[in-house]
Amino acid sequence: MTDKDKLAGIYKEMLEEDIIAELARVKDIPLRNAMDIYYNSRLSAQISDGSYGIDNMDYRYLVQDLIDNEPELLNAGGQDK
Protein backbone atom coordinates (compact mmCIF):
# COMPACT_ATOMS: atom_id res chain seq x y z
CA MET A 1 0.00 0.00 0.00
CA THR A 2 1.41 3.35 -0.99
CA ASP A 3 1.28 6.56 1.00
CA LYS A 4 -1.29 7.86 -1.48
CA ASP A 5 -3.55 4.86 -0.80
CA LYS A 6 -3.18 5.33 2.96
CA LEU A 7 -4.09 9.01 2.68
CA ALA A 8 -7.13 8.21 0.53
CA GLY A 9 -8.30 5.71 3.14
CA ILE A 10 -7.83 8.19 5.96
CA TYR A 11 -9.65 10.87 3.98
CA LYS A 12 -12.64 8.56 3.40
CA GLU A 13 -12.77 7.66 7.09
CA MET A 14 -12.74 11.34 8.06
CA LEU A 15 -15.42 12.10 5.46
CA GLU A 16 -17.61 9.35 6.88
CA GLU A 17 -17.13 10.69 10.41
CA ASP A 18 -18.07 14.20 9.25
CA ILE A 19 -21.17 12.91 7.44
CA ILE A 20 -22.35 10.95 10.47
CA ALA A 21 -21.78 13.86 12.86
CA GLU A 22 -23.54 16.31 10.53
CA LEU A 23 -26.47 13.94 10.00
CA ALA A 24 -26.88 13.56 13.76
CA ARG A 25 -26.74 17.33 14.21
CA VAL A 26 -29.13 18.23 11.37
CA LYS A 27 -31.72 15.59 12.23
CA ASP A 28 -31.19 15.90 16.00
CA ILE A 29 -30.66 12.17 16.45
CA PRO A 30 -28.10 10.15 18.41
CA LEU A 31 -24.80 9.36 16.70
CA ARG A 32 -25.59 5.64 16.83
CA ASN A 33 -28.76 6.20 14.79
CA ALA A 34 -26.88 8.42 12.35
CA MET A 35 -24.28 5.68 11.93
CA ASP A 36 -26.98 3.09 11.22
CA ILE A 37 -28.59 5.36 8.65
CA TYR A 38 -25.32 6.19 6.94
CA TYR A 39 -23.96 2.64 6.78
CA ASN A 40 -27.26 1.36 5.34
CA SER A 41 -27.35 4.06 2.67
CA ARG A 42 -26.43 4.01 -0.99
CA LEU A 43 -24.21 6.99 -0.19
CA SER A 44 -22.02 4.82 2.02
CA ALA A 45 -21.54 2.30 -0.78
CA GLN A 46 -20.77 5.04 -3.29
CA ILE A 47 -18.13 6.58 -1.03
CA SER A 48 -16.60 3.20 -0.33
CA ASP A 49 -16.39 2.45 -4.05
CA GLY A 50 -15.30 5.95 -4.98
CA SER A 51 -18.23 6.09 -7.42
CA TYR A 52 -18.69 9.28 -9.41
CA GLY A 53 -15.94 11.05 -7.45
CA ILE A 54 -18.54 11.49 -4.72
CA ASP A 55 -15.89 11.17 -2.03
CA ASN A 56 -14.53 14.55 -3.16
CA MET A 57 -17.74 16.43 -2.37
CA ASP A 58 -18.42 18.47 0.74
CA TYR A 59 -19.87 16.44 3.61
CA ARG A 60 -22.68 18.96 4.18
CA TYR A 61 -23.84 18.57 0.59
CA LEU A 62 -23.66 14.78 0.92
CA VAL A 63 -25.77 14.83 4.09
CA GLN A 64 -28.43 16.92 2.37
CA ASP A 65 -28.31 14.55 -0.59
CA LEU A 66 -28.81 11.58 1.74
CA ILE A 67 -31.77 13.30 3.44
CA ASP A 68 -33.36 14.21 0.10
CA ASN A 69 -32.77 10.94 -1.74
CA GLU A 70 -33.05 8.27 0.94
CA PRO A 71 -35.84 9.46 3.27
CA GLU A 72 -36.94 5.88 3.94
CA LEU A 73 -33.77 5.37 5.98
CA LEU A 74 -34.52 8.37 8.15
CA ASN A 75 -38.09 7.27 8.75
CA ALA A 76 -37.04 3.72 9.62
CA GLY A 77 -34.17 4.19 12.01
CA GLY A 78 -33.40 7.75 12.89
CA GLN A 79 -36.12 8.97 15.14
CA ASP A 80 -35.65 7.30 18.53
CA LYS A 81 -33.54 9.29 20.98
- Domain edges within the chain: 3-77
pLDDT in tens, 15-33: 999 999 999 999 999 999 9
Note whether 54 and 47 are within 8 A (CB).
Answer: yes
Sequence-distant (6+) residues with CB within 8 A of 65 are: 43
pLDDT in tens, 41-76: 999 999 998 888 888 899 999 999 999 999 999 987
pLDDT at 5 over 90: no
